[in-house]
Chain A
Amino acid sequence: MTTTTRPIEIQGASALRVAPWQHTKEQWSFGPIEAQLIDGLDRSVPEDILSRSSNDEASSTIGPQEISAPLPGPEELRPRDFGKRGLTTISHWEGVVESVEGRTFHARLTPFKNGRPLPAKIEYADFDFEELTESDREFVQEGAVFYWTLGRERNVAGTVANVSLLRFRRLPALSDYQEREARSEAQELLQALGVPESD
Protein backbone atom coordinates (compact mmCIF):
# COMPACT_ATOMS: atom_id res chain seq x y z
CA MET A 1 0.00 0.00 0.00
CA THR A 2 1.29 3.50 -0.86
CA THR A 3 1.52 5.81 2.10
CA THR A 4 1.39 9.45 1.27
CA THR A 5 0.13 12.60 2.77
CA ARG A 6 -0.41 14.12 -0.66
CA PRO A 7 -3.96 15.44 -0.91
CA ILE A 8 -6.32 13.23 -2.76
CA GLU A 9 -8.42 14.72 -5.44
CA ILE A 10 -12.01 13.99 -4.84
CA GLN A 11 -14.19 14.02 -7.89
CA GLY A 12 -16.83 16.69 -7.65
CA ALA A 13 -15.34 18.26 -4.56
CA SER A 14 -15.23 22.01 -4.57
CA ALA A 15 -11.82 23.61 -4.62
CA LEU A 16 -13.01 25.90 -1.90
CA ARG A 17 -13.20 22.96 0.46
CA VAL A 18 -9.52 22.23 -0.02
CA ALA A 19 -7.30 23.65 2.68
CA PRO A 20 -5.34 26.71 1.58
CA TRP A 21 -1.99 24.97 2.02
CA GLN A 22 -3.12 22.22 -0.33
CA HIS A 23 -3.47 24.53 -3.31
CA THR A 24 -0.19 24.38 -5.14
CA LYS A 25 2.11 21.68 -6.37
CA GLU A 26 4.86 23.09 -4.23
CA GLN A 27 3.00 22.51 -1.02
CA TRP A 28 2.12 19.32 0.80
CA SER A 29 -0.61 18.35 3.15
CA PHE A 30 1.72 18.51 6.14
CA GLY A 31 2.42 22.14 5.45
CA PRO A 32 4.34 24.46 3.21
CA ILE A 33 7.80 23.48 2.14
CA GLU A 34 9.12 26.93 2.95
CA ALA A 35 9.41 27.35 6.69
CA GLN A 36 8.99 31.11 6.49
CA LEU A 37 5.54 30.69 5.01
CA ILE A 38 4.17 29.48 8.31
CA ASP A 39 3.26 32.05 10.87
CA GLY A 40 4.64 31.51 14.33
CA LEU A 41 7.54 29.34 13.19
CA ASP A 42 10.38 29.51 15.60
CA ARG A 43 12.89 31.49 13.60
CA SER A 44 15.61 30.27 15.87
CA VAL A 45 15.55 26.87 14.22
CA PRO A 46 18.82 26.73 12.36
CA GLU A 47 18.54 26.35 8.64
CA ASP A 48 20.77 23.29 8.65
CA ILE A 49 18.24 21.31 10.68
CA LEU A 50 15.83 21.67 7.85
CA SER A 51 18.46 20.68 5.36
CA ARG A 52 19.30 17.55 7.42
CA SER A 53 15.73 16.34 7.26
CA SER A 54 15.35 12.92 5.73
CA ASN A 55 12.72 14.31 3.47
CA ASP A 56 14.17 14.70 0.04
CA GLU A 57 12.53 18.02 -0.38
CA ALA A 58 13.91 19.27 2.91
CA SER A 59 10.46 19.79 4.28
CA SER A 60 9.78 19.14 7.91
CA THR A 61 6.91 18.80 10.33
CA ILE A 62 8.61 20.84 13.00
CA GLY A 63 6.68 23.85 14.02
CA PRO A 64 2.98 24.37 14.57
CA GLN A 65 0.44 23.39 11.97
CA GLU A 66 -3.17 24.23 11.58
CA ILE A 67 -5.82 22.01 10.17
CA SER A 68 -8.41 24.06 8.47
CA ALA A 69 -10.83 21.18 7.83
CA PRO A 70 -13.50 21.18 10.53
CA LEU A 71 -13.40 18.18 12.86
CA PRO A 72 -16.63 16.25 13.08
CA GLY A 73 -18.40 16.69 16.35
CA PRO A 74 -19.04 13.75 18.70
CA GLU A 75 -21.69 11.43 17.43
CA GLU A 76 -24.63 11.17 19.72
CA LEU A 77 -25.48 7.57 20.45
CA ARG A 78 -29.10 7.01 21.13
CA PRO A 79 -30.27 3.91 22.96
CA ARG A 80 -31.61 1.43 20.43
CA ASP A 81 -35.30 1.02 20.52
CA PHE A 82 -36.19 -2.63 20.65
CA GLY A 83 -39.80 -1.84 21.19
CA LYS A 84 -41.64 -4.79 22.63
CA ARG A 85 -39.32 -7.43 21.24
CA GLY A 86 -38.90 -10.56 23.29
CA LEU A 87 -39.06 -14.34 23.33
CA THR A 88 -41.11 -16.37 25.75
CA THR A 89 -39.80 -19.92 25.91
CA ILE A 90 -42.49 -22.55 26.14
CA SER A 91 -40.26 -25.60 25.82
CA HIS A 92 -36.54 -26.12 25.39
CA TRP A 93 -34.29 -29.07 24.58
CA GLU A 94 -30.60 -29.66 24.06
CA GLY A 95 -30.08 -32.17 21.28
CA VAL A 96 -27.31 -34.37 19.94
CA VAL A 97 -27.38 -35.58 16.35
CA GLU A 98 -27.50 -39.37 16.46
CA SER A 99 -27.68 -40.12 12.77
CA VAL A 100 -28.07 -38.39 9.44
CA GLU A 101 -30.05 -39.95 6.63
CA GLY A 102 -30.33 -37.95 3.43
CA ARG A 103 -31.89 -34.59 4.25
CA THR A 104 -33.14 -35.73 7.65
CA PHE A 105 -31.35 -36.16 10.93
CA HIS A 106 -32.33 -38.06 14.03
CA ALA A 107 -31.55 -36.52 17.40
CA ARG A 108 -31.48 -37.47 21.06
CA LEU A 109 -32.96 -34.71 23.15
CA THR A 110 -32.50 -33.72 26.77
CA PRO A 111 -35.48 -31.70 27.93
CA PHE A 112 -35.09 -28.68 30.19
CA LYS A 113 -37.41 -27.80 33.01
CA ASN A 114 -37.20 -24.44 34.74
CA GLY A 115 -33.92 -23.80 32.97
CA ARG A 116 -32.32 -27.01 34.20
CA PRO A 117 -31.58 -30.13 32.13
CA LEU A 118 -33.18 -33.44 32.99
CA PRO A 119 -30.34 -35.77 31.87
CA ALA A 120 -32.12 -38.96 32.92
CA LYS A 121 -34.96 -38.25 30.50
CA ILE A 122 -34.19 -39.42 27.00
CA GLU A 123 -36.28 -38.17 24.12
CA TYR A 124 -35.96 -38.41 20.37
CA ALA A 125 -37.16 -36.49 17.35
CA ASP A 126 -36.44 -36.29 13.63
CA PHE A 127 -35.71 -33.02 11.86
CA ASP A 128 -35.45 -32.00 8.23
CA PHE A 129 -32.58 -29.91 6.94
CA GLU A 130 -35.22 -27.47 5.70
CA GLU A 131 -35.96 -26.59 9.32
CA LEU A 132 -32.44 -25.22 9.68
CA THR A 133 -30.96 -21.98 8.52
CA GLU A 134 -28.58 -22.27 5.59
CA SER A 135 -25.58 -21.59 7.80
CA ASP A 136 -26.54 -24.30 10.31
CA ARG A 137 -26.80 -27.08 7.76
CA GLU A 138 -23.04 -27.56 7.55
CA PHE A 139 -22.98 -28.39 11.26
CA VAL A 140 -25.22 -31.41 10.95
CA GLN A 141 -22.98 -34.34 11.74
CA GLU A 142 -23.14 -37.20 14.17
CA GLY A 143 -22.45 -35.92 17.68
CA ALA A 144 -23.10 -32.24 16.96
CA VAL A 145 -25.00 -30.34 19.64
CA PHE A 146 -27.95 -28.08 18.96
CA TYR A 147 -30.68 -26.28 20.84
CA TRP A 148 -34.37 -26.41 20.09
CA THR A 149 -36.70 -23.84 21.53
CA LEU A 150 -40.44 -23.59 21.12
CA GLY A 151 -41.89 -20.29 22.12
CA ARG A 152 -43.64 -17.08 21.31
CA GLU A 153 -41.72 -14.22 19.79
CA ARG A 154 -42.90 -10.63 20.05
CA ASN A 155 -41.56 -8.28 17.39
CA VAL A 156 -40.81 -4.54 17.67
CA ALA A 157 -44.38 -3.66 16.93
CA GLY A 158 -45.61 -6.04 19.60
CA THR A 159 -46.98 -8.65 17.22
CA VAL A 160 -46.77 -12.16 18.63
CA ALA A 161 -45.75 -15.14 16.52
CA ASN A 162 -45.17 -18.77 17.38
CA VAL A 163 -41.60 -19.79 16.72
CA SER A 164 -39.51 -22.93 16.66
CA LEU A 165 -35.82 -22.09 16.82
CA LEU A 166 -33.20 -24.67 15.92
CA ARG A 167 -29.66 -23.45 16.43
CA PHE A 168 -26.50 -25.49 16.18
CA ARG A 169 -23.82 -24.76 18.70
CA ARG A 170 -20.78 -22.95 17.41
CA LEU A 171 -17.52 -23.18 19.20
CA PRO A 172 -14.51 -21.03 18.59
CA ALA A 173 -11.23 -22.80 17.99
CA LEU A 174 -9.13 -23.15 21.09
CA SER A 175 -6.69 -20.34 21.58
CA ASP A 176 -2.99 -21.08 21.99
CA TYR A 177 -3.36 -20.16 25.64
CA GLN A 178 -6.24 -22.61 26.14
CA GLU A 179 -4.29 -25.35 24.41
CA ARG A 180 -1.25 -24.70 26.58
CA GLU A 181 -3.42 -24.73 29.70
CA ALA A 182 -5.05 -28.03 28.66
CA ARG A 183 -1.66 -29.58 27.92
CA SER A 184 -0.30 -28.41 31.22
CA GLU A 185 -3.26 -29.82 33.16
CA ALA A 186 -3.05 -33.09 31.21
CA GLN A 187 0.61 -33.43 32.18
CA GLU A 188 -0.18 -32.68 35.82
CA LEU A 189 -3.05 -35.17 35.86
CA LEU A 190 -0.99 -37.92 34.32
CA GLN A 191 1.86 -37.23 36.71
CA ALA A 192 -0.53 -37.60 39.63
CA LEU A 193 -2.39 -40.59 38.18
CA GLY A 194 0.58 -42.46 36.82
CA VAL A 195 1.13 -43.31 33.19
CA PRO A 196 0.04 -46.78 32.03
CA GLU A 197 2.85 -49.26 31.79
CA SER A 198 3.52 -50.67 28.37
CA ASP A 199 4.26 -54.33 27.82
Chain B
Amino acid sequence: LSIFGRGYGEAICAHVGDGEWVLVDSCLHPTSQAPASLEYLTSVGVSAAQAVKLIVVTHWDDDHIRGIAKIVEECEPARVACSAALGREDVVQFVVSQEAATGAAGSGLDELRTILRLCSRRKPGIIWAKANLPLHPSPPGESPKVVALSPSEDATERSVTALIEAATHSKRAFPRRYNAPEGPNGASVATSLRSYGVSIVLGADLELSNNPETGWEAVLSYSRPPSLASLVKVPHHGSKGAHHDGFWTDCVNDQVIAILTPWSRGARHLPTDTDLTRLRAVANDVYLTAMPALARVEVNHEVQRLLRRLHGDKAVSELRGWGQVRARRRNGADSWEVELEGDAVKVEK
Protein backbone atom coordinates (compact mmCIF):
# COMPACT_ATOMS: atom_id res chain seq x y z
CA LEU B 1 0.00 0.00 0.00
CA SER B 2 1.39 3.38 -1.01
CA ILE B 3 0.08 6.70 0.18
CA PHE B 4 1.18 9.91 -1.50
CA GLY B 5 0.65 13.34 -0.14
CA ARG B 6 1.69 16.88 0.16
CA GLY B 7 0.16 19.76 2.01
CA TYR B 8 -2.71 19.70 -0.39
CA GLY B 9 -3.60 16.42 -2.05
CA GLU B 10 -3.81 12.74 -1.31
CA ALA B 11 -3.65 9.54 -3.34
CA ILE B 12 -3.55 5.86 -2.43
CA CYS B 13 -2.43 2.78 -4.39
CA ALA B 14 -3.24 -0.56 -2.86
CA HIS B 15 -2.29 -4.01 -4.11
CA VAL B 16 -5.00 -6.36 -2.90
CA GLY B 17 -3.31 -9.54 -4.12
CA ASP B 18 -3.31 -11.54 -7.35
CA GLY B 19 -1.95 -8.58 -9.31
CA GLU B 20 -5.06 -6.53 -8.62
CA TRP B 21 -4.73 -2.87 -7.68
CA VAL B 22 -7.16 -0.46 -6.13
CA LEU B 23 -6.65 3.31 -6.43
CA VAL B 24 -8.28 5.63 -3.95
CA ASP B 25 -8.46 9.37 -4.71
CA SER B 26 -5.82 11.23 -6.65
CA CYS B 27 -3.40 14.11 -6.51
CA LEU B 28 -0.88 15.47 -8.95
CA HIS B 29 2.85 15.05 -8.68
CA PRO B 30 4.23 18.56 -8.08
CA THR B 31 6.84 18.41 -10.83
CA SER B 32 5.46 16.11 -13.51
CA GLN B 33 1.85 17.36 -13.00
CA ALA B 34 0.69 13.78 -13.69
CA PRO B 35 -1.53 11.74 -11.33
CA ALA B 36 0.81 10.40 -8.65
CA SER B 37 -0.77 6.92 -8.62
CA LEU B 38 -0.30 6.39 -12.36
CA GLU B 39 3.30 7.54 -12.13
CA TYR B 40 3.96 5.13 -9.31
CA LEU B 41 2.40 2.14 -11.06
CA THR B 42 4.45 2.87 -14.15
CA SER B 43 7.59 3.15 -12.03
CA VAL B 44 7.06 -0.31 -10.53
CA GLY B 45 6.30 -1.84 -13.93
CA VAL B 46 2.56 -2.26 -13.50
CA SER B 47 0.23 -1.62 -16.41
CA ALA B 48 -2.47 0.51 -14.86
CA ALA B 49 -4.89 -0.18 -17.69
CA GLN B 50 -4.77 -3.91 -16.94
CA ALA B 51 -4.06 -4.13 -13.23
CA VAL B 52 -6.31 -1.48 -11.74
CA LYS B 53 -9.65 -3.09 -10.89
CA LEU B 54 -11.26 -0.42 -8.79
CA ILE B 55 -11.01 3.37 -8.50
CA VAL B 56 -12.62 4.89 -5.42
CA VAL B 57 -13.56 8.56 -5.44
CA THR B 58 -14.05 9.14 -1.73
CA HIS B 59 -15.49 12.64 -2.13
CA TRP B 60 -15.20 15.65 -4.37
CA ASP B 61 -12.96 18.01 -2.46
CA ASP B 62 -10.24 19.47 -4.64
CA ASP B 63 -7.43 17.95 -2.57
CA HIS B 64 -8.67 14.39 -3.15
CA ILE B 65 -9.73 14.42 -6.73
CA ARG B 66 -7.08 16.15 -8.87
CA GLY B 67 -6.18 13.93 -11.82
CA ILE B 68 -8.73 11.23 -11.09
CA ALA B 69 -10.54 11.75 -14.41
CA LYS B 70 -7.25 10.98 -16.16
CA ILE B 71 -6.93 7.77 -14.11
CA VAL B 72 -10.50 6.72 -14.98
CA GLU B 73 -9.79 7.44 -18.63
CA GLU B 74 -6.60 5.37 -18.68
CA CYS B 75 -7.91 2.46 -16.63
CA GLU B 76 -10.91 1.70 -18.76
CA PRO B 77 -11.69 -1.79 -17.44
CA ALA B 78 -11.65 -0.62 -13.82
CA ARG B 79 -14.87 -0.06 -11.96
CA VAL B 80 -15.40 3.34 -10.41
CA ALA B 81 -16.98 3.83 -7.01
CA CYS B 82 -18.43 7.20 -6.01
CA SER B 83 -20.37 8.25 -2.97
CA ALA B 84 -24.05 7.39 -3.28
CA ALA B 85 -24.73 11.00 -2.34
CA LEU B 86 -23.80 11.93 -5.88
CA GLY B 87 -26.24 9.65 -7.62
CA ARG B 88 -29.20 12.01 -7.47
CA GLU B 89 -30.66 13.94 -10.33
CA ASP B 90 -30.45 17.29 -8.55
CA VAL B 91 -26.80 16.78 -7.73
CA VAL B 92 -25.79 15.53 -11.16
CA GLN B 93 -27.73 18.39 -12.73
CA PHE B 94 -25.77 20.81 -10.58
CA VAL B 95 -22.46 19.18 -11.49
CA VAL B 96 -23.33 19.34 -15.19
CA SER B 97 -24.62 22.89 -15.06
CA GLN B 98 -21.39 24.14 -13.51
CA GLU B 99 -19.51 23.40 -16.69
CA ALA B 100 -20.04 26.99 -17.77
CA ALA B 101 -18.57 28.16 -14.47
CA THR B 102 -15.33 26.29 -14.94
CA GLY B 103 -12.21 28.30 -14.29
CA ALA B 104 -9.10 27.73 -16.35
CA ALA B 105 -7.41 25.95 -13.46
CA GLY B 106 -10.25 23.44 -13.15
CA SER B 107 -11.81 22.08 -9.99
CA GLY B 108 -13.07 18.94 -8.34
CA LEU B 109 -16.44 19.41 -10.02
CA ASP B 110 -14.78 19.30 -13.42
CA GLU B 111 -13.08 16.01 -12.56
CA LEU B 112 -16.36 14.63 -11.30
CA ARG B 113 -18.28 15.68 -14.40
CA THR B 114 -15.70 14.02 -16.62
CA ILE B 115 -15.87 10.81 -14.59
CA LEU B 116 -19.66 10.67 -14.82
CA ARG B 117 -19.54 11.16 -18.57
CA LEU B 118 -16.79 8.59 -19.07
CA CYS B 119 -18.55 5.99 -16.93
CA SER B 120 -21.90 6.57 -18.63
CA ARG B 121 -20.36 5.26 -21.84
CA ARG B 122 -19.00 2.14 -20.17
CA LYS B 123 -20.39 -1.02 -18.76
CA PRO B 124 -21.07 -1.61 -15.92
CA GLY B 125 -21.28 2.10 -15.19
CA ILE B 126 -20.55 3.25 -11.69
CA ILE B 127 -20.81 1.84 -8.18
CA TRP B 128 -22.73 4.18 -5.90
CA ALA B 129 -20.90 3.41 -2.70
CA LYS B 130 -22.58 3.31 0.66
CA ALA B 131 -21.96 1.58 3.96
CA ASN B 132 -21.52 -2.22 3.79
CA LEU B 133 -21.54 -2.36 -0.01
CA PRO B 134 -18.86 -4.69 -1.47
CA LEU B 135 -16.89 -2.71 -4.04
CA HIS B 136 -14.47 -5.36 -5.28
CA PRO B 137 -14.91 -7.99 -6.48
CA SER B 138 -18.51 -7.46 -7.32
CA PRO B 139 -20.89 -9.94 -5.75
CA PRO B 140 -21.72 -12.73 -6.20
CA GLY B 141 -18.40 -14.48 -6.06
CA GLU B 142 -15.45 -14.68 -3.77
CA SER B 143 -15.48 -12.78 -0.50
CA PRO B 144 -15.04 -9.04 -1.02
CA LYS B 145 -11.60 -7.51 -0.78
CA VAL B 146 -12.88 -3.95 -0.65
CA VAL B 147 -16.00 -2.93 1.25
CA ALA B 148 -17.39 0.55 1.80
CA LEU B 149 -17.76 1.57 5.44
CA SER B 150 -19.57 4.80 4.63
CA PRO B 151 -21.58 6.88 3.85
CA SER B 152 -24.56 5.75 5.83
CA GLU B 153 -28.03 6.14 4.36
CA ASP B 154 -28.64 9.07 6.66
CA ALA B 155 -25.37 10.78 5.71
CA THR B 156 -26.23 10.39 2.06
CA GLU B 157 -29.57 12.13 2.48
CA ARG B 158 -28.10 14.91 4.59
CA SER B 159 -25.26 15.50 2.20
CA VAL B 160 -27.59 15.72 -0.77
CA THR B 161 -29.80 18.20 1.03
CA ALA B 162 -26.83 20.31 2.08
CA LEU B 163 -25.32 20.27 -1.35
CA ILE B 164 -28.52 21.32 -3.04
CA GLU B 165 -29.02 24.09 -0.50
CA ALA B 166 -25.47 25.30 -1.05
CA ALA B 167 -25.99 25.21 -4.78
CA THR B 168 -29.29 27.03 -4.59
CA HIS B 169 -28.01 29.79 -2.37
CA SER B 170 -24.61 30.26 -3.94
CA LYS B 171 -23.82 33.78 -4.99
CA ARG B 172 -22.82 34.88 -8.44
CA ALA B 173 -19.20 33.90 -7.95
CA PHE B 174 -20.01 30.23 -7.57
CA PRO B 175 -18.22 28.36 -4.84
CA ARG B 176 -16.13 25.49 -6.02
CA ARG B 177 -16.48 23.65 -2.81
CA TYR B 178 -19.42 23.23 -0.54
CA ASN B 179 -18.90 23.92 3.08
CA ALA B 180 -22.23 22.81 4.35
CA PRO B 181 -22.03 21.05 7.73
CA GLU B 182 -22.86 17.67 6.24
CA GLY B 183 -21.12 18.32 2.95
CA PRO B 184 -18.59 16.21 1.08
CA ASN B 185 -16.78 14.89 4.14
CA GLY B 186 -19.98 13.62 5.68
CA ALA B 187 -20.72 11.58 2.56
CA SER B 188 -17.16 10.47 1.86
CA VAL B 189 -16.42 6.81 1.21
CA ALA B 190 -14.27 5.19 3.90
CA THR B 191 -13.24 1.67 2.92
CA SER B 192 -12.08 -1.55 4.43
CA LEU B 193 -9.51 -3.62 2.49
CA ARG B 194 -9.28 -7.29 3.35
CA SER B 195 -6.79 -9.56 1.71
CA TYR B 196 -5.05 -12.74 2.89
CA GLY B 197 -6.24 -12.16 6.42
CA VAL B 198 -4.88 -8.64 6.57
CA SER B 199 -7.26 -5.78 7.24
CA ILE B 200 -6.70 -2.13 6.34
CA VAL B 201 -8.99 0.83 6.91
CA LEU B 202 -8.78 3.84 4.61
CA GLY B 203 -10.56 6.60 6.49
CA ALA B 204 -11.08 9.09 3.64
CA ASP B 205 -12.19 12.44 5.14
CA LEU B 206 -14.97 10.92 7.20
CA GLU B 207 -15.49 12.91 10.37
CA LEU B 208 -17.34 12.62 13.64
CA SER B 209 -20.92 13.73 13.85
CA ASN B 210 -23.33 14.70 16.57
CA ASN B 211 -25.76 12.40 14.85
CA PRO B 212 -25.25 8.69 15.64
CA GLU B 213 -26.57 7.83 12.19
CA THR B 214 -23.70 9.51 10.34
CA GLY B 215 -19.90 9.77 10.39
CA TRP B 216 -17.70 7.43 12.41
CA GLU B 217 -20.51 6.85 14.91
CA ALA B 218 -22.51 5.18 12.15
CA VAL B 219 -19.49 3.12 11.04
CA LEU B 220 -19.05 1.75 14.52
CA SER B 221 -22.75 1.03 14.86
CA TYR B 222 -23.56 -0.41 11.45
CA SER B 223 -20.52 -1.13 9.29
CA ARG B 224 -17.65 -1.98 11.58
CA PRO B 225 -14.92 -4.00 9.78
CA PRO B 226 -15.15 -7.71 10.68
CA SER B 227 -11.49 -7.99 11.66
CA LEU B 228 -9.07 -5.70 13.44
CA ALA B 229 -7.11 -3.43 11.14
CA SER B 230 -3.32 -3.49 11.21
CA LEU B 231 -2.98 -0.34 9.09
CA VAL B 232 -5.10 2.78 9.02
CA LYS B 233 -5.03 5.71 6.63
CA VAL B 234 -6.01 8.26 9.24
CA PRO B 235 -9.23 10.07 8.35
CA HIS B 236 -9.25 13.77 7.53
CA HIS B 237 -5.54 14.41 7.95
CA GLY B 238 -5.59 13.48 11.64
CA SER B 239 -7.95 16.23 12.69
CA LYS B 240 -9.60 16.09 16.09
CA GLY B 241 -12.98 16.22 14.36
CA ALA B 242 -12.32 12.85 12.74
CA HIS B 243 -10.86 11.05 15.74
CA HIS B 244 -13.16 8.47 17.29
CA ASP B 245 -11.73 6.83 20.39
CA GLY B 246 -14.02 3.84 19.93
CA PHE B 247 -12.55 3.16 16.52
CA TRP B 248 -9.00 3.09 17.84
CA THR B 249 -9.90 0.79 20.72
CA ASP B 250 -12.36 -1.56 19.01
CA CYS B 251 -11.40 -1.70 15.33
CA VAL B 252 -7.59 -1.88 15.22
CA ASN B 253 -5.05 -4.31 16.61
CA ASP B 254 -2.33 -3.38 19.06
CA GLN B 255 0.34 -3.29 16.36
CA VAL B 256 -1.55 -0.88 14.14
CA ILE B 257 0.36 1.64 12.13
CA ALA B 258 -1.21 4.95 11.19
CA ILE B 259 -0.37 6.82 8.01
CA LEU B 260 -1.65 10.27 7.32
CA THR B 261 -1.34 13.00 4.76
CA PRO B 262 -1.08 16.63 5.75
CA TRP B 263 -3.45 19.39 4.73
CA SER B 264 -2.57 23.01 4.57
CA ARG B 265 -4.51 26.18 4.01
CA GLY B 266 -1.91 28.83 4.32
CA ALA B 267 -1.22 29.38 7.98
CA ARG B 268 -3.72 26.70 9.00
CA HIS B 269 -2.62 23.11 8.69
CA LEU B 270 -3.34 19.57 9.73
CA PRO B 271 -2.22 17.59 11.60
CA THR B 272 -1.37 19.87 14.47
CA ASP B 273 1.12 18.86 17.13
CA THR B 274 -1.82 17.96 19.36
CA ASP B 275 -3.22 15.71 16.63
CA LEU B 276 0.12 13.91 16.29
CA THR B 277 0.38 13.46 20.05
CA ARG B 278 -3.11 11.98 20.13
CA LEU B 279 -2.32 9.61 17.27
CA ARG B 280 0.95 8.51 18.82
CA ALA B 281 -1.02 7.48 21.88
CA VAL B 282 -3.30 5.14 19.94
CA ALA B 283 -1.07 3.79 17.16
CA ASN B 284 2.08 1.76 17.34
CA ASP B 285 3.78 3.82 14.65
CA VAL B 286 2.70 7.01 12.91
CA TYR B 287 3.90 8.12 9.48
CA LEU B 288 3.31 11.36 7.67
CA THR B 289 3.71 11.64 3.89
CA ALA B 290 5.21 15.11 4.18
CA MET B 291 5.69 17.92 6.60
CA PRO B 292 4.06 20.76 4.69
CA ALA B 293 6.12 23.88 4.50
CA LEU B 294 5.31 27.26 3.08
CA ALA B 295 8.13 29.04 1.38
CA ARG B 296 8.20 32.32 -0.45
CA VAL B 297 7.78 31.70 -4.16
CA GLU B 298 10.91 32.34 -6.11
CA VAL B 299 9.74 34.77 -8.74
CA ASN B 300 11.82 36.55 -11.30
CA HIS B 301 13.22 39.97 -10.61
CA GLU B 302 10.52 41.79 -12.57
CA VAL B 303 7.63 40.17 -10.67
CA GLN B 304 9.43 40.72 -7.40
CA ARG B 305 9.87 44.40 -8.20
CA LEU B 306 6.21 44.78 -9.13
CA LEU B 307 5.06 43.00 -5.99
CA ARG B 308 7.23 45.22 -3.83
CA ARG B 309 6.08 48.43 -5.53
CA LEU B 310 2.40 47.62 -5.65
CA HIS B 311 1.86 45.48 -2.60
CA GLY B 312 4.62 46.40 -0.21
CA ASP B 313 5.65 43.29 1.61
CA LYS B 314 2.98 40.95 0.25
CA ALA B 315 4.35 37.45 -0.05
CA VAL B 316 3.21 34.76 -2.41
CA SER B 317 3.96 31.50 -0.68
CA GLU B 318 4.34 28.10 -2.23
CA LEU B 319 3.48 24.79 -0.71
CA ARG B 320 6.51 22.56 -0.53
CA GLY B 321 6.87 18.98 0.52
CA TRP B 322 6.02 15.77 -1.23
CA GLY B 323 6.39 12.24 -0.07
CA GLN B 324 5.31 8.65 -0.21
CA VAL B 325 4.83 6.12 2.55
CA ARG B 326 4.96 2.57 1.25
CA ALA B 327 3.84 -0.22 3.56
CA ARG B 328 4.35 -3.79 2.40
CA ARG B 329 3.42 -7.01 4.04
CA ARG B 330 4.41 -10.39 2.74
CA ASN B 331 1.88 -13.15 2.73
CA GLY B 332 1.93 -14.78 6.17
CA ALA B 333 4.12 -12.07 7.76
CA ASP B 334 2.87 -10.53 10.97
CA SER B 335 4.15 -7.00 10.51
CA TRP B 336 4.45 -4.26 7.95
CA GLU B 337 7.67 -3.13 6.30
CA VAL B 338 7.50 0.62 5.85
CA GLU B 339 9.61 2.63 3.40
CA LEU B 340 9.65 6.39 3.19
CA GLU B 341 10.27 8.41 0.05
CA GLY B 342 10.75 12.14 -0.44
CA ASP B 343 9.69 14.24 2.51
CA ALA B 344 7.79 11.44 4.27
CA VAL B 345 8.63 11.08 7.95
CA LYS B 346 8.04 8.78 10.85
CA VAL B 347 6.52 10.72 13.71
CA GLU B 348 8.74 10.01 16.68
CA LYS B 349 7.30 9.44 20.10
Q: Do A and B come from one complex?
A: yes
**Chain B residues, CB < 8 A from A194:** 87, 125-126, 128
Task: State whether B96 touches A144 (Cβ < 8 A).
Answer: no
Which of B96, B119, B153 interacts with A182 by CB under 8 Å?
B96
Chain A residue, CB-CB nearest to B309: A162
Top 7 nearest A-B pairs by Cβ distance? A143-B175, A196-B128, A182-B97, A144-B173, A192-B120, A186-B93, A110-B105
Within 8 A of A (CB), among B178-200: 178-179
A52 within 8 A of B: no
User: Is B265's CB under 8 angstroms from A99's CB?
Assistant: yes
Q: Is A62 an interface residue (CB 8 A)?
A: no
User: Interface 1/0s, chain B 329-342, versus A by CB < 8 A?
Assistant: 00000000000000
Establish whether residues A139 and B92, one from each chain, have CB atoms under 8 Å apart when the complex forms: no
Of A96, A109, A143, A162, most B-chain CB atoms within 10 Å: A143
Closest chain A residue to B129, Cβ basis: A196
Is A122 a contact of B93 with CB atoms below 8 Å?
no
Check B316–A109 contact: CB distance below 8 A: yes
Kindly list chain B residues whose C-beta atoms are within 8 Å of the C-beta of A124.
Answer: 265-266, 294, 316-319
**Does A67 reach chain B (CB closer than 8 Å)?**
no
Chain A residue with Cβ nearest B166:
A143
The reply to whether the CB of A14 lies closer than 8 angstroms to some CB of chain B is no
How many chain B residues sit at the interface, stated as a range, is 35 or more
| B residues in contact with A139, CB < 8 Å | 171-173
Q: A164-B306, A189-B120, A194-B128 are in contact. Are A144 and B175 (CB under 8 A)?
A: yes
Does A198 contact B153, Cβ atoms closer than 8 Å?
A: yes
**What are 20 A-B pairs with beta-carbon distances under 8 A?**
A90-B302, A94-B103, A94-B104, A99-B265, A112-B104, A120-B31, A120-B66, A121-B318, A123-B297, A124-B318, A126-B314, A141-B171, A141-B173, A142-B175, A143-B175, A151-B306, A163-B310, A178-B100, A186-B92, A187-B89
Alpha-carbon distance A91/B310, docked complex (angstroms):
13
With an 8 A cutoff between CB atoms, is B44 at the interface?
no
Known: A189-B120, A190-B87. A98 touches B92 (CB 8 A): no
Bound form: Cα–Cα A131–B307 in Å: 13
Do A117 and B172 have beta carbons less than 8 Å apart? no
Interface residues of B in 126-173 (CB under 8 A from A): 126, 128, 130, 153, 156, 171-173
B116 within 8 A of A: yes
Residues of the A chain whose Cβ atoms lie less than 8 Å from the Cβ of B101: 171
The distance in angstroms between the C-alpha atoms of A189 and B122, with both chains bound, is 11
Partner of A169, one of B33, B103, B177, B306: B103
Q: In this assembly, does B315 line the interface, its C-beta being within 8 Å of a C-beta of chain A? A: yes
Given contacts A94-B104, A179-B97, A194-B125, contact A164 B311 (CB under 8 A): yes
Whether B173 and A168, one on each chain, are in contact in the complex, defined by CB atoms closer than 8 angstroms, is yes
Which chain B residues border A145 with CB–CB below 8 Å?
Answer: 103, 173-174, 176
Write the B313-326 contact mask toward A (1 if CB under 8 angstroms, else 0). Answer: 01111110000000
How many A-B residue pairs lie within 8 Å, measured between CB atoms? Answer: 167
Neighbouring A residues of B6 by C-beta, 8 Å: 122
Q: Which of A145, A178, A188 has the most CB of B within 10 A?
A: A145
**A119:B310 contact, CB within 8 angstroms:** no
Please report which residues of chain B, range 1-50, place their CB below 8 angstroms from some CB of chain A when the two chains form the complex: 6-8, 28-33
Inter-chain contact B174/A143, CB cutoff 8 Å: yes
Cβ distance A183 to chain B, nearest Cβ, rounded Å: 5
Within 8 A of A (CB), among B55-86: 66, 84
Residues of B278-294 at the interface with A, using a CB-CB cut-off of 8 Å, are: 294
Question: Which residues of chain A are within 8 angstroms of B307 by Cβ–Cβ distance?
Answer: 150
With A143-B176, A144-B175, A194-B126 known as contacts, the answer to whether A199 contacts B153 (CB < 8 A) is yes
A120 touches B33 (CB 8 A): yes
Which residues of A92-106 are within 8 A (CB) of B?
A: 94, 96, 98-99, 106
Q: A108 interface residue, CB < 8 Å from B?
A: yes
Task: Determine if A174 and B100 form an interchain contact, defined as CB atoms under 8 angstroms apart.
Answer: yes
With A and B bound together, what is the CA distance between A173 and B168 in angstroms? 11
Q: Smallest CB–CB gap between B178 and chain A, Å?
A: 8
B84 touches A196 (CB 8 A): yes
Instruction: Evaluate contact between B104 and A117: CB separation under 8 angstroms.
Output: yes
Q: A121-B30, A123-B319 are in contact. Are A142 and B306 (CB under 8 A)?
A: no
Known: A142-B179, A143-B177, A168-B173. A150 touches B310 (CB 8 A): yes
B335 to chain A, nearest CB (A): 35
Q: Does A195 belong to the interface (CB within 8 Å)?
A: yes
Taking CB atoms and an 8 Å cut-off, the chain A residues in 145-189 that contact chain B are 145-146, 150-151, 162-164, 168-171, 173-174, 178-179, 182-183, 185-189
